[in-house]
């Protein structure tokens, strides 16, 4: 059922495309709001549809532990469970497991870890990671991979790649011809040759799409941009490219410029709940005293419900008073900003004007674009 069509490539290298799943089509480049526990925090499915969200992400690790994938399967699958009719991408749970350094043990067959909820011992293998995602009814599934921490030595990353590639082959075999598209995950740290080796190994196995993992884990932005660009340069042109866990608005712009198609990140929702609002001129911290009497909207050119209806002063009041409505309004604005940003980038790519869009993006923020990589 899954297919990807590359519609056009801008002279900068930015791409516009479209992929089709059993639950609908998605136009790229695209940002996926994060619904960790089958919920994008403070948002309803109707809110997300109204904002123009085309696809959302859910977290395999969290749903595996609570309420359990078999329970969700028995209740009709994740789409019915959370009343979201559009496509859903699920991660493999690997990143969450590997972040629990003191709670897990890795072996050739998989990972044993202790739940952060109750300390119970759990086991995740390539086969079970796929089985959990199939039970959820995911439209896009991710292979189980190992994500080495930032600063890992090249020799250790090389050993980790062997495990990631072996697990990818097992994931593909376990998935077989079940519904949903299984994506491989490219690792390799910040090292170009290791990234090339990972791409070669994964494309030899063959997947309908490829994710770029192991970035946005502490490396400088310039390094992330360089590695993302180098990786995209050797990935298949006719498959979607997904940069996992990224990021800030400028990260999205720079990654799109280097050929990335798909993104997810908790920043718009998490930062919204903490009072940081994204605007064309850069982030705005609404709890600051300077907004106590500010009757302007967050962004005078933003068309979201929050900006059409409420002042900065009111949003600051909600934030200082701890009102739940403030979390909701901030999140709604931030998601609108991110989704509108992606839509604007797509329009610029289709018109062959992405370079001008990128210059204008930085000009509105009073910044200069990052210099090109050497």
Q: CATH number of the domain at 208, please.
A: 3.20.20.105
The Cα–Cα gap between 32 and 54 comes to 8
Say whether both 11 and 108 belong to one domain. yes
* Confidence grade of residue 97 (pLDDT, cut at 50, 70, 90): confident
Instruction: Output the pLDDT for position 373.
Output: 79
Instruction: Output the pLDDT for position 1.
Output: 86
Instruction: Output the pLDDT for position 101.
Output: 75
Is residue 17 situated within a structural domain?
Answer: yes
Instruction: Output the pLDDT for position 98.
Output: 73
Instruction: Output the pLDDT for position 27.
Output: 98
Quickly count: other Cβ atoms within 10 Å of residue 4's Cβ.
Answer: 19
pLDDT, tens only, 140-189: 999 999 998 888 999 999 999 999 999 999 999 999 999 999 999 999 99
Say whether both 205 and 293 belong to one domain. no
Residues recognised as catalytic: 91, 264
Say whether both 250 and 270 belong to one domain. no
Is residue 372 situated within a structural domain?
Answer: no
pLDDT, tens only, 282-307: 999 999 999 999 999 999 999 999 99
Count the domains in the chain: 2
Mean pLDDT calculated for residue range 126-138? 97
Mean pLDDT calculated for residue range 17-45? 98
Instruction: Output the pLDDT for position 127.
Output: 98
Using CA atoms, how far residue 45 sits from 71, 79, 221, 236, 309, in Å, is 21, 10, 33, 33, 21
* Confidence grade of residue 236 (pLDDT, cut at 50, 70, 90): very high
- Supply the DSSP symbol for 246: B
Mean pLDDT calculated for residue range 338-352? 98
* Dihedral sign from CA coordinates of 148, 154, 157, 159: negative
The domain of 291 spans 266-366
Say whether both 274 and 256 belong to one domain. no
* pTM confidence score: 0.97
Say whether both 274 and 260 belong to one domain. no
* Confidence grade of residue 374 (pLDDT, cut at 50, 70, 90): low
Burial of 218 (0-12, 13-18, 19+ CB in 10 A): exposed
């Amino acid at each position: 059922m899954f297919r990807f069509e590359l519609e056009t490539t801008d002279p900068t290298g930015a791409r516009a495309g479209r992929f089709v799943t059993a639950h609908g089509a998605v136009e790229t480049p695209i940002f996926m709001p994060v619904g960790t526990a089958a919920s994008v925090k403070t948002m309803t499915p109707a809110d997300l549809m109204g904002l123009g969200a085309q696809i959302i992400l859910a977290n395999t690790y969290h749903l595996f532990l609570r309420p359990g994938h078999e329970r969700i399967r028995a209740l009709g699958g994740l789409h019915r469970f959370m009343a979201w009719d559009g496509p859903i991408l699920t991660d493999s749970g690997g990143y969450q497991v590997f972040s629990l350094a003191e709670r897990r043990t890795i072996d050739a067959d998989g990972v044993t870890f202790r739940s952060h909820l109750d300390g119970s011992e759990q086991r995740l293998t390539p086969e079970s990671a796929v089985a959990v995602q199939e039970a959820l009814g995911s439209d896009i599934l991710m292979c189980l991979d190992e994500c080495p921490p930032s600063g890992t030595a090249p020799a250790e990353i090389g050993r980790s790649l062997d495990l990631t590639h072996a697990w990818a082959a097992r994931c593909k075999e376990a998935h077989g011809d079940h519904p949903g598209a299984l994506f491989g995950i490219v690792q390799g740290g910040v090292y170009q040759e290791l990234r090339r080796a990972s791409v070669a190994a994964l494309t030899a196995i063959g997947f309908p799409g490829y994710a770029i993992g192991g970035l946005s884990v502490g490396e400088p932005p310039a390094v992330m941009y360089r590695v993302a660009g180098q990786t995209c340069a050797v990935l298949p042109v006719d498959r979607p490219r997904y940069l996992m866990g990224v990021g800030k608005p400028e990260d999205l712009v720079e990654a799109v410029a280097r050929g990335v198609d798909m993104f997810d990140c908790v920043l718009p929702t998490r930062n919204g709940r903490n009072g940081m609002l994204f605007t064309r001129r850069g982030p705005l911290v609404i709890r600051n005293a300077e907004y106590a009497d500010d009757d302007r909207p967050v962004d005078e050119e933003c068309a979201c419900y929050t900006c059409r209806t409420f002042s900065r002063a009111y949003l600051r009041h909600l934030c200082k008073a701890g009102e739940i409505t403030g979390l909701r309004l901030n999140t709604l604005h931030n998601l609108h900003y991110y989704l509108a940003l992606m839509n604007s980038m797509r329009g610029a790519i289709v018109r062959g004007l992405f370079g001008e869009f990128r210059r204008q993006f930085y000009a509105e923020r009073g910044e200069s674009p990052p210099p090109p990589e050497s």
